[in-house]
Structure 1
């Protein structure tokens, strides 16, 4: 058997399609299990990017698809033979990455034998620490101030990008951290006024100590041997200035992905990898950043007049409804004619997460004005449901929002921020239950509730959930939520009125969203700090963890296909912090149960 010795070169393996088995061994020649092997096209398709580095409206491109699999207990794996040449990368914690050039692989495969790749153990302790995902570094970050400050930090500083990543571990003084905190405040982080200085000092001291004690960073959760039965496909779309926030798997087989920062929709064909870009139109008098103003003026490239956010599909005609978070409107996209319709609203601010019901009504949260809106497609009218304020200060702040946002963004006064985020309870996630109830969660209020669509009555459940971000309802009408800064999966049963909490299978994770596979009684949870996506079996209360091919993967949404496979997207903000600075649409086929 011929052998190629990989020595951790930072190239990428390339060669003919593998018709033979691929065998991975350690430096003693023993088969190496759970090696992540990623193949990418050796010859990348030429992209037509004529619109500020993106495809112009209606223009199609071929994405350079990537596949990932894991070796079995004997170190063996194979990929489908497509007759195309690929580049391959081998990765396993504790070992040096291995990458091989196309010519060498092609020469070995031409002999008609299996390809064997040997991996070398990493000996450099600093490099071993750098291999570890951000969540285990974060588990050792001590910013002082106890659990309250840590949760406040997580709530406000971990919803866009990973904390304790190499980018965040760059040491800064307390004064420099205050500058960062102020800049992030423009992006939506709400650090309480009396916590700004303690947090800045805690981050300066905490990261200094963390960098000095890198050898104490614990090992991440080991990769499961069953991953040999899983497979991944990725489609690179957008660039380092994109944010592939949310998306929808459409009944027509396409996946529609929204670039939140560039106001573009990517229509991706998973069968071929061809994608077409549609530019979201805006009115001539719309301003960059919409009613919020241009919050990203320090960002390198921005085009978010609308702020494409969340997606839902009409069960009647397949039209796609999209929340443009920067406008007081609802967008409707016809996937057949490729046309957009804008439905103007007279009330509410910051359209956020969106769902449709069986009556073809469109429900979505209005995050800043603490409301839920409903668009009746037959009557062509909006209805608004006010969620009760927690106190008089909050009631007054919400009532003053139209006046505040009428003022120029450069000079408008902004309410002071306290630890309870008074005035901004932020209804976030939403879902429609099988029984018709419309459930919502309020991120900053630490509560959740539902709307009876027949009576319009709004009920807030008097049970605290720490940081409920997005939620979904299962086939039994049970409500599943992620408790963001608490790092929990939470289930509420409306029949028994019992709330149950489940620890996540990884440490220091702040779950952003989830989805429920109602047919299989499974909950899929988005990871963002641990480079993982997690699968929870409701019946057995057991977890599966799926590591992501790229380091610094941050996911915000999950869609479930009919066969039980799932889609997600790498929407790290900024995307240039992703490994190789490339956002992707990701498809995961889980291993057999």
Structure 2
């Protein structure tokens, strides 16, 4: 660990450094709760609470200098596990409005400072509780950076890109350091890698890890990831990212892999590891559970025009339809471990074989008669890539053309169901790792390059790619959703504890920090009536399973 260095760094120089750079270097993760809290008059003009609602406001300052601290998270958590978070402004001031009358634990934390927590407080109707926080500096800032910062310690080359593809799809690199209280030796790395290869290697039933050389990779990791290495600090929080409200709902099941919004604004979530489905009422924060068959392993979901849920059942090799009104469940064997589900305008469901190769497989299910038709996806491995293609996302465009991504083989493809013709398009840069993409209003594909650290746009008419590097390096862009009403691309990161917004018109990024560490985002949904963004944290092994809502406050 860095304890000796940090004791020195905790000198006057360190304190001045943090206070002078806090406007530049902030990203938010939790730390140890031990700070004093005082209640005084609110330092800012507060918004008056509505009937049945209350608010909390105050200021965040340094406990020794009394200087205000901007861009710290302040959180209100109720007894049901719902957490509402806001950021302090440039003067360290904050206000959490529209809190239902209840008892809450209020806390404050942010990069470079220890977490401070109050006792339970009661929020009363039409009243404001004033709570000020004084925070002390955190010595071990290396424990607060995300996986993206630690990945930046590794060389910027294809070996690192392949390591991200093979070993970073389920958990953050920072989580490994957290579990082991420091970095492992090469022998410990080798043991861990061989253990993972036993679960997910090329010769297993879930071969998401390619033919990795465990001894070589272990020595390589030990060379760069050492306890005396200082990772880069997170990028500054942009002023325009301060006006957010994040609500985190403690997920009732296990493994909230995918989510969608139904016509009534309910959030439908797959319980991948609890073998059930859930509906979240955003107004009450209550989850309704829908039981499925044992070992259903629901991973992907879409909702058709009749409100029927179409779900991928991974382990049973099935696609299922579920009517939430009648709770009628129909299953369709597909003979493969499917990964994604898509619906066309004719009501057909489409699924792809996650590990199928030579050739790959895509299946169409007709719900009217239950018939299924399989389409071959030729390998066409022109770049002589190793391992499996790892068929990933599947989407159907406005013309009923089926599009897919091959995560490991660095390409997208389109399938014309009328002719069965398949065309592949390889991404411009090697080992980019295309995952979950979406279409914009013009039919362009917006693609997250997971291991490449870029956002790509593919124009299907011109058959050209345009790419933008994400502001945070090695953020692991995992999923993209397009807000078609506002012409905005949202990018869910797996490694940076952030969510990104890309304005198509201005071609500019804004990154929004998230209050929970190891916030691995696999799927998102956009409420186009409000612009709210919904997503879930699904870290494996489970860290904190949550369903999350991000609102931009104007």
TM-score category of the 2 structures, normalised to the smaller one: 0.7 to 0.9
1:235 aligns with 2:197: no
CA–CA distance in structure 1, aligned partners of residues 271 and 128 of structure 2: 44
1:570 aligns with 2:542: no
- Structure 1 pair 484/123, CA: closer, same or farther in 2 (3 Å)? closer
SS in 1 for 2:385: coil
Match of 2:144 in 1: 131
CA–CA distance in structure 1, aligned partners of residues 468 and 450 of structure 2: 13
CA–CA distance in structure 1, aligned partners of residues 248 and 171 of structure 2: 20
1:228: Cα distance to partner?
Answer: 3.5
Match of 1:176 in 2: 188
- Larger relative strand fraction: 2
- Structure 1 pair 113/269, CA: closer, same or farther in 2 (3 Å)? closer
- Structure 1 pair 229/180, CA: closer, same or farther in 2 (3 Å)? same
- Structure 1 pair 33/427, CA: closer, same or farther in 2 (3 Å)? same
- Structure 1 runs of 4+ aligned residues shifted over 6 Å read 11-17
1:34 aligns with 2:71: yes
1:372 aligns with 2:372: no
CA–CA distance in structure 2, aligned partners of residues 261 and 515 of structure 1: 24
Match of 2:412 in 1: 448
- Structure 1 pair 324/439, CA: closer, same or farther in 2 (3 Å)? same
1:150 aligns with 2:151: no
Q: How does 1:481-500 map to 2 (within 5 A)?
A: 481-500=447-466
1:18: Cα distance to partner?
Answer: 4.7
CA–CA distance in structure 1, aligned partners of residues 532 and 418 of structure 2: 35
Q: 1:140 aligns with which of 136, 147, 153?
A: 153
1:559: Cα distance to partner?
Answer: 0.3
CA–CA distance in structure 2, aligned partners of residues 221 and 201 of structure 1: 29
Match of 1:327 in 2: 316
- Give the stretch that moved more between structures: 358-367 or 69-78: 69-78
Structure 2 stretches of 5 or more lacking a match? 1-30, 40-51, 201-205
1:77 aligns with 2:92: no
> Contact 1:263 / 1:307 at 8 angstroms: preserved in 2?
yes
Q: Deviations over 1:538-567 (max 9, x none)?
A: 111111111111111111000001211110
1:193: Cα distance to partner?
Answer: 4.3
Q: 2:338 aligns with which of 351, 359, 368?
A: 351
- Give the stretch that moved more between structures: 444-453 or 9-18: 9-18
Q: Deviations over 1:109-166 (max 9, x none)?
A: 99x8862413234162xx2222222221221146xxx723211211010000001332
> Contact 1:433 / 1:474 at 8 angstroms: preserved in 2?
no
> Contact 1:9 / 1:100 at 8 angstroms: preserved in 2?
no
SS in 2 for 1:155: helix
> Contact 1:248 / 1:559 at 8 angstroms: preserved in 2?
yes
Q: Deviations over 1:156-213 (max 9, x none)?
A: 1000000133226644343332332222221346555462221022223333x2x112
Match of 2:25 in 1: none
- Structure 1 pair 17/425, CA: closer, same or farther in 2 (3 Å)? same
Kindly tell me the number of residue pairs found equivalent between the two proteins. 495
1:440: Cα distance to partner?
Answer: 0.8
1:93 aligns with 2:122: no
1:212 aligns with 2:228: yes
Q: How does 1:16-415 map to 2 (within 5 A)?
A: 18-19=54-55, 21-27=57-63, 28-41=65-78, 44=79, 63-74=80-91, 75-102=93-120, 115-122=130-137, 124=139, 127-141=140-154, 147-165=157-175, 166-167=178-179, 170-185=182-197, 186-187=199-200, 188=206, 191-193=209-211, 195-207=213-225, 209=226, 211-213=227-229, 216-238=230-252, 242-282=254-294, 305-315=295-305, 317-345=306-334, 347=335, 349-369=336-356, 370-390=360-380
- Structure 1 pair 233/420, CA: closer, same or farther in 2 (3 Å)? same
Normalising by structure 2, report the TM-score.
0.83
> Contact 2:54 / 2:128 at 8 angstroms: preserved in 1?
no
CA–CA distance in structure 2, aligned partners of residues 236 and 176 of structure 1: 33
- Give the stretch that moved more between structures: 222-231 or 183-192: 183-192
CA–CA distance in structure 1, aligned partners of residues 481 and 434 of structure 2: 14
1:92: Cα distance to partner?
Answer: 2.1
Q: 1:9 aligns with which of 28, 33, 52?
A: 33
Q: 1:505 aligns with which of 471, 475, 482?
A: 471
CA–CA distance in structure 1, aligned partners of residues 519 and 421 of structure 2: 40
Match of 1:399 in 2: none
- Structure 1 pair 113/568, CA: closer, same or farther in 2 (3 Å)? closer
- Give the stretch that moved more between structures: 582-591 or 127-136: 127-136
1:556 aligns with 2:522: yes
Structure 1 stretches of 5 or more lacking a match? 1-6, 45-62, 283-304, 395-418
CA–CA distance in structure 2, aligned partners of residues 39 and 361 of structure 1: 44
> Contact 1:313 / 1:319 at 8 angstroms: preserved in 2?
yes
> Contact 2:260 / 2:525 at 8 angstroms: preserved in 1?
yes
RMSD over aligned CA atoms reads 2.8
CA–CA distance in structure 2, aligned partners of residues 219 and 175 of structure 1: 29
SS in 2 for 1:499: strand
Q: Deviations over 1:307-348 (max 9, x none)?
A: 211101111x11000111212221111111123211123x4x
SS in 2 for 1:379: coil
- Structure 1 pair 382/169, CA: closer, same or farther in 2 (3 Å)? farther
CA–CA distance in structure 1, aligned partners of residues 33 and 298 of structure 2: 40
1:446: Cα distance to partner?
Answer: 1.1
CA–CA distance in structure 1, aligned partners of residues 267 and 36 of structure 2: 28
Normalising by structure 1, report the TM-score.
0.78
- Structure 1 pair 279/13, CA: closer, same or farther in 2 (3 Å)? farther
SS in 2 for 1:435: coil
1:359: Cα distance to partner?
Answer: 1.4
